Amino acid sequence: MAIEYLKKAQHKSTDTAAEVQEKVRAILAEIEAGGDEAAMRYAAQFDRYEGNIRLTREEIDAAAAKVPQRLKDDIRFAWDNIRRFAEAQKESIGDVEIEIRPGLIAGQKAIPCRAAGCYVPGGRYSHIASALMTVTTAKVAGCEHIVACSPPRPDVGIAPAIVYTADLCGADTILALGGVQGVAAMAFGLFGLPKSDILVGPGNQFVAEAKRILFGRVGIDMFAGPTDSLILADETADPAIVAWDLVGQAEHGYNSPVWLATTHRPLAEKVLELVPVIIETLPELNRDNARAAWRDMAEVMVVADREGLAEVADAYAPEHLHVQAADLDWFLDLLKCYGSLFLGEETTVAYGDKAAGTNHVLPTSGAARYTGGLSVHKYMKIVTWQRATREGAKGVAEATARISRLEGMEGHARTADIRLEKYFPGESFDLTTNG
């Protein structure tokens, strides 16, 4: 596949992974040893917050009272969409029972994790949508206890809209803690909470590293890096809409890649012309993020045909994949590697980020090659069981004994032997590997 790059990324990093890992390990160790007091010290140091950590019902209600009714209506609209989609996902899995052979029955059960910890970013932006995405899915999955954790602002606390959203979606506890100390509090069961079985939600590199280090002791949704987006476009695409969709995702941060692959060179050239102009119309913080991301991380490429577009998509395995081209069903059938797919000009990544119903906690950095995004399934364990009659297990016992001996696992073999001897006295079985 021939690719012509009209713009190539210049990857940059300011803080090495080793440095981040060292800092996070030290903080986690100190909080695990020091408990609530250590977490509160880090809240004072990093968040400049010394208020109540575990919100009371009165504090939650007071925060809700500060949220304008129109925003509440919008949050409920998004929540309803996300909840309905999550409920449909849950219905796609369930308990199974099959009689594999006469008298040999096996099955699976879908069991939700007991305690879920949901991290909701609140630094540069108040991520209302992250509370919607993480808490709602945990609630639909059936988790017994759900913690929502979000960074407080100095002398203020968590943004009222985040508090309102977390409570609406079903959080049992809301913690005013950010960063590593917030992740640690959920994982270690601080402030009177149960230890989380799974930690979910986006965050900065320190939050992501804390989850990575804790993985194994707890489950996590995924290893997350900076958000990324790829647009596939042909000559039918509107260059202004393509340009705005790229800028809209670039404002996430200086290290958020956005890519355009197109079969139409004039479109690519027009988008290259439009994007810098559009960026300058944004508010200062958004403008700075988008400008840096576009300068250092963005790529614009031209390929020969739609097959080339599909190859680029599967090679990049983007978090967000937006097709603005003819014959959308062709792309839906063919594309394989993406976190979430947006088909046509009539939808956009921002819809999925905020209110359409699909989840916005998605695999980044090419991880869409092997995993999908957050869903009710992430909170559920698919476990198996079996039972058998004595006659039904007879053939299984014989095969198990012989396979075990071939592997050199005599103890395994004899757990089968003893059952055959007990259940079928007087019968002769060849349980060696010489037959």
Instruction: Show me where the domains of the chain are located.
Output: 17-221+377-381, 226-372, 389-435
Is 127 known to be catalytic?
A: no
pLDDT at residue 163, rounded to an integer: 97
Q: Is residue 394's pLDDT more than 80?
A: yes
Using CA atoms, how far apart are residues 41 and 35, in angstroms rounded to an integer? 10
CA nearest to 377, candidates 90, 35, 54, 113? 90
Name the catalytic one among 252, 320, 322, 360: 320
- Please state the φ and ψ torsions of residue 116, each to the nearest 5 degrees: -120, 135
> In Å, how far are 118, 210, 222, 240, 398 from 197, measured between CA atoms?
11, 15, 14, 45, 39
Q: Look up the pTM and report it.
A: 0.92
Looking at residue 432, its pLDDT comes to 86
- SS3 assignment for the chain: CCCEEEECCCCCCCCCHHHHHHHHHHHHHHHHHHHHHHHHHHHHHHHCCCCCCECCHHHHHHHHHCCCHHHHHHHHHHHHHHHHHHHHHHHCCCCEEEEEECCEEEEEEEEECCEEEEECCCCCCCCHHHHHHHHHHHHHHCCCEEEEEECCECCCECCHHHHHHHHHHCCCEEEECCHHHHHHHHHHCCCCCCCCCEEECCCCHHHHHHHHHHECCEEECCCCCCCCEEEEECCCCCHHHHHHHHHHHHCCCCCCCEEEEECCHHHHHHHHHHHHHHHCCCCHHHHHHHHHHHHHHCEEEECCCHHHHHHHHHHHCCCEEEEECCCHHHHHHHCCCCCEEEECCCCCHHHHHHCCCCCCCCCCCCHHHCCCCCCHHHHEEEEEEEEECCCCCHHHHHHHHHHHHHHCCHHHHHHHHHHHHHHCCCCCCCCCCCC
Mean pLDDT of all residues in 88-101: 95
Confidence at 13, pLDDT banded by 50, 70, 90: very low
Q: How far apart are the C-alpha atoms of 345 and 356, rounded to whole Å?
A: 15
Across the range 86-106, mean pLDDT stands at: 96
The CATH topology of domain 226-372 is: Rossmann fold (3.40.50)
Yes or no: say if 196 and 217 are a contact pair by the CB < 8 Å rule: no
Confidence of residue 155 (pLDDT cuts 50, 70, 90): confident
pLDDT beyond 80 at 124: no
Burial class (CB in 10 A: 0-12, 13-18, 19+), 343: middle
pLDDT tier, 191 (very low <50, low <70, confident <90, very high otherwise):
very high
Given the residues 252, 299, 319, 360, the one annotated as active site: 319
How many Cβ atoms sit within 10 Å of the Cβ of residue 99? 12
Q: Active site includes 4?
A: no
Other CB atoms within 10 Å distance of the CB of residue 35: 15
Please check the confidence at residue 338 and state whether its pLDDT lies above 90. yes
The stretch 364-386 carries a mean pLDDT of 95
- Which pLDDT value is given to residue 18? 87
Residue 11 pLDDT more than 80? no
Q: Which residue has the tokens 């009222």?
A: 160
What is the pLDDT averaged over residues 392-421?
A: 96
Query: What pLDDT score was predicted for residue 55?
Result: 97
Q: Is the pLDDT of residue 179 over 70?
A: yes
What is the per-residue pLDDT across 236-293, written as a single tens digit (0 to 9) for each? 999 999 999 999 999 998 999 999 999 999 999 999 999 999 999 999 989 999 999 9
pLDDT at 431: 86
Mean pLDDT value across residues 134-141 = 98
Is it the case that residue 12 has pLDDT exceeding 90?
A: no
| 17-221+377-381 matches 226-372 in fold | yes
Tell me the pairing of strands 115-119 and 198-200.
parallel
Please report, rounded to a whole number, the percentage of residues in the chain having pLDDT higher than 70.
97
Rounded mean pLDDT, 330-341:
97
pLDDT-derived band at 15, boundaries 50, 70, 90? very low
**Spatial CB neighbours of 74, under 8 Å, sequence gap ≥ 6:** 355
What's the fold here for domain 17-221+377-381? Answer: Rossmann fold (3.40.50)
